Structure 1
Amino acid sequence: MTDVRQQRITLIDSLRGFALLGIFLVNILFFTTSLQTISFGVDLWTGGYNEALGMLKDIFINSKFILIFSFLFGLGAVLLQNSCEAKGLSFRRVYARRLTALLVIGLIHGMLIWYGDVLTHYAILGFLLLLLFIKRKPKTLLIWSLILQLIVPVLVVISSLASSGDPQFTTLSGEEMQQTALYYQAKDAAIYGAGDAGQILGQRLNDFIASIFNMILFYPQVLGLFLLGMYFGKRRFLHDVAGHRALFVRLAWIGGVLGLAAQLAMAWTELSFAMEAVMLFVGAPLMSLAYISLFALLYQNKRCQKVLRVFSYPGKMAFTNYLMQSVICGFIFYSYGLALYGTVDVGIQMLIALAVYAAQVIFSMLWLRLFPIGPLEYVWRLFTYWGKPVRKKQVGGGAA
């Protein structure tokens, strides 16, 4: 029983570490490219391998790993609930303190380090999860998960049909979009890449506010993945992958084939805005579910597990490593560091992300030889449990 429980915890930590890598490969673009330029969908680096890498990122990475992280956040809520009930603690109080601490740290992160913070949104949606869904039955969670994930694509399609032919809705030409995107890129490069601390702070606050409004569109989808993770937690699927092998095989095939088809349609065909939204909001969760399922299945093989277990070290310290990535990228791309903002192409960005992540794997392994959890995880847990110390034998699996 102990071996099964330990494997389950390590699987969750490894999956979280895997998601952290994928998220970083996406986030690094935002450290060197204007938020407005990205919003316009304009690629600054063209030709050859940059376009190929950009397409591969769109198909296999973008939007998928943040959804895996969201799934694990919901799963983590169930694990914490089970732990609190076993210890005779009030889960609602513990989780409310946990989310409050997450919100405070997220706001500090977003305003003072990097505007693309996701912790703030997780905290806000976490309170919705706590208030509305934490006591729901698994079947109810699954139904609401599907409803929430379909809300945005359905509304987009309805809006598109209602506005078709309406002369009010005009779009910029390709040339106009390119020129506007280049203007914002030059403007932000002058601030992030060469500005002083006050200018960077002002721009970061503006971008933080803009990113909050941008993220609201994805709230139903993220909350839907929270609920899906809770459903898996309450049904204990990841507690016993071998016992639910047939389910994970089906999910890997269905999610992989349909999700990949949707992503390829976006990459290789000309779609309307409405159809592209449908492909994104349906295809990305399907691929995320396929990744989770395939990862869990591979983890049952001893040889594969030895390789995948490397992800468990940064996964146990995901909170610390996520914030460390922002700090490190600030020193790489902003004016108070190497000032490489806007100067490195897609390939170099990905190499930097891989190098930083590899360093984090080594750092996490060394840290966890000395301490049971990461430094920020310790602070977070102190606040969550009102200063009660972490037991020395405590292992990972709780950070989500």
Structure 2
Amino acid sequence: MMAPPHSPDRILALDALRGIAVIGIVGMNVHAFALPGPAYYNPLSYGAVDAADYRVWLASFIFIEDKFRTLFAMLFGAGCLILIERGGERPWRAHYARMIVLFAIGLVHAALLASNDILRAYALAGLALPLLAGLSARALVTVGLGLLMVHLALGLTAFGSVLVDFHVKHSGSDALLWAERQFGRDPAAIAALLEQGREGFAERVVRRSLGIPAQLATLFASLPLNLAAVALGMGLWKGGMLKGEWRTFHLQRLAAGCALASLPVLLGLAGWLVVQGFPAALVGPVALVISAPFDTLLGMAYAALAMAFLARDSALTRRLAAVGRLSLTNYLMTSVILAAIFASWGLGLFGEVTRWQALVLGLVPVVAMLVWSPAWVARLGQGPFERLWRAGAKALS
């Protein structure tokens, strides 16, 4: 089937980039659905039985983990700015209405399907847009980089006691025991998480709904990092890069610079964890804090490469653009498909697969997106959840 024609008021490469972002997120989300929580960061926790699993962890850590989340957040910031720039009556009221509805969708998504939902975090970051929208492209990039440093400082402070106790070999400390439960190989914690992952649908909804207030602390802790990506996306839009205005040479130079600044450090961090034997006290800070600036740089490299090589109107670009036009629906439907594979009310494969097997099963929602998105866009245009978001925001504003 041919990909649908693209609307003249849309930027083909930008939609295709959004499609790449939502596809890339599957690469890590599949492990959140398939394995106990600590295994998301630590291959020794669970699900690694041979060399292929460690290679999958290494590739994910360097090329996937948080890179596509960052890219998605950048595109979210650019998308919000596009809508604000189009104006209309009461643009800020309409913007806040969109954020409220998006947060509500995220709450339902987190309770029913995915506790690691990112929509809530993006909606909270979107509330700060009035402080950023009037800034120049250079100022927005500066703010984004500054917020990354804030995330780094706050994160290292939060993990300070863990790192200190690890350094002085205080093995029985509360901080190290907490880290072991969150990022390590604590047998009791893994057993409890395996049992929890096999609970029934109604039981899970009740548990996750009751845990929503506690999740707010985590959402606010992630605000500097997510807002950094949002600000960078706004800056790249104002600077013309995401508008498709940069020459290919400049895009390639940006991608090369970001890759050269990030890949050696990410390789070094991965090597550090391997040499140290994946201690939980290091896994958490490395995955959540220390790698963040370099994840962001590599996400920017992906954006530049996509804008350079997807600007040409081709069947692949149009198919990816269709996926991107339905990014909200595809993000949510990915959770539906992964739940159907791993949850107890589906095939029940949670905790039953290795890391590389989980990654292969992650191809199921990717293929589904690539197949159904062009057909939907060609016949109906907006996706069902895009329509819901738009209708809800219109009702509120």
- Residues 1:12 and 2:14 aligned together: yes
- TM-score (norm. length: structure 1): 0.84
Greater RCO (Cα-Cα under 8 Å, separation 6 or more): 2
Aligned pairs (5 A) from 1:305-324: 305-324=314-333
Instruction: State the alpha-carbon separation in 2 of the partners of residues 156 and 368 from structure 1.
Output: 41
Q: CA deviation at 1:356?
A: 1.8
Alpha-carbon distance between aligned partners in 1 of 2:372 and 2:287, rounded to the nearest angstrom? 40
- Say if 2:43 and 2:53, in contact at 8 Å, map to a contact too: no
Counterpart in the other structure of 1:171: 176
Q: 1:239 aligns with which of 243, 258, 267?
A: 243
Distance 1:185 1:278 in 2: 23
Check the 8 A contact 1:145/1:227 in 2, yes or no: yes
- Note closer, same or farther for the CA distance 1:153–1:4 as it changes in structure 2 (3 Å cut): same
Distance between the aligned counterparts of 1:173 and 1:92, measured in 2?
Answer: 42
Shift of 1:234: 1.9
User: What is residue 153 of structure 1 aligned with on the other side?
Assistant: 152
> Is the CA contact (8 Å cut-off) linking 1:260 and 1:283 kept in structure 2?
yes
Give the C-alpha shift of residue 362 in structure 1.
Answer: 1.2
- TM-fit CA distance, 1:238: 2.2
The 2-side partners of 1:109 and 1:50 are apart by 29
Q: Structure 2 CA distance, aligned partners of 1:218 and 1:246?
A: 34
Q: Counterpart in 1 of 2:193?
A: 188
Question: 2:371 & 2:6 partners in 1: Cα distance?
Answer: 26
> Are 2:217 and 1:219 aligned?
no
Does the alignment pair 1:25 with 2:24? no
**What does 1:79-118 correspond to in 2, within 5 Å?**
79-83=82-86, 85=87, 88-118=88-118
Q: Is the 8 A contact 1:34 1:188 kept in 2?
A: yes
Report the count of equivalent residues.
377
Q: Which 10-residue stretch deviates more, 221-230 or 170-179? A: 170-179
Amino acid of the structure 2 residue aligned with 1:57: S
Question: Secondary structure of the equivalent of 1:385?
Answer: helix
> Share of identical aligned residues, percent?
24
The answer to which of 149-158 and 219-228 deviates more is: 149-158
The 2-side partners of 1:125 and 1:203 are apart by 26
Q: Write the letter of the residue equivalent to 2:189.
A: Y
1:213-252: CA deviations, max 9, x gaps?
A: 44544321210110111112222222234x4434322211
How far did 1:4 drift? 11
The change in CA–CA distance for 1:343 and 1:159 in structure 2 (over 3 A counts) is: closer
Gaps of 5+ in 1: 389-400
Q: Which moved more, 1:214-223 or 1:68-77?
A: 214-223
Does 1:53 find its partner at 2:56? yes
Distance (Å, rounded) in 2 between the aligned partners of 1:30 and 1:173: 20
Amino acid at match of 2:55: A
Q: Per-residue deviation at 1:189?
A: 2.8
Q: 1:171 is paired with a residue of what secondary structure?
A: helix
Counterpart for residue 341 of structure 1: 350
Is contact 1:232-1:238 (8 Å) kept?
yes
* Residue 388 of structure 2 corresponds to residue 379 of structure 1: yes
Q: In structure 1, give the amino acid aligned to 2:194.
A: A
What amino acid sits opposite 1:141 in the alignment? L
Deviation at 1:259, TM superposition (A): 0.9
Alpha-carbon deviations, 1:49-98, whole Å to 9, x = none? 11111111111101100000010011011110122x2xx32210111111
Q: Which runs of 5+ in 2 are unaligned?
A: none
Distance change >3 Å, CA 254–CA 9, structure 1 → 2: same
1:119: how far off? 0.8
Aligned-pair distance for 1:114? 1.9
Structure 1 contact 115–207 (Cα < 8 Å) conserved: no
Contact 2:328–2:386, Cα closer than 8 Å, also in 1: yes
Name the amino acid aligned to 1:269: W
- 1:266 aligns with 269
Q: Distance in 2 between matches of 1:38 and 1:209?
A: 23
Tell me what 2:135 maps to. Answer: 136
Give the 3-state SS of the residue equivalent to 2:291 in structure 1. helix
**8 Å contact kept, 1:32–1:340:** yes
When residues 190 and 240 of structure 1 are mapped into structure 2, their CA distance, relative to the original with a 3 A threshold, is closer
Q: For residues 246-300 of structure 1, give each alpha carbon's deviation from its aligned partner in whole angstroms, at most 9, with x where no partner exists.
A: 4322211111111111110111125894777664022101111111111111124
In 2: Cα distance, 1:183 partner to 1:376 partner: 39
CA shift digits 1:143-200 (9 cap, x unpaired): 21111011122345577889857766863599997552x433332333332x333432
* TM-score after normalising by structure 2: 0.84
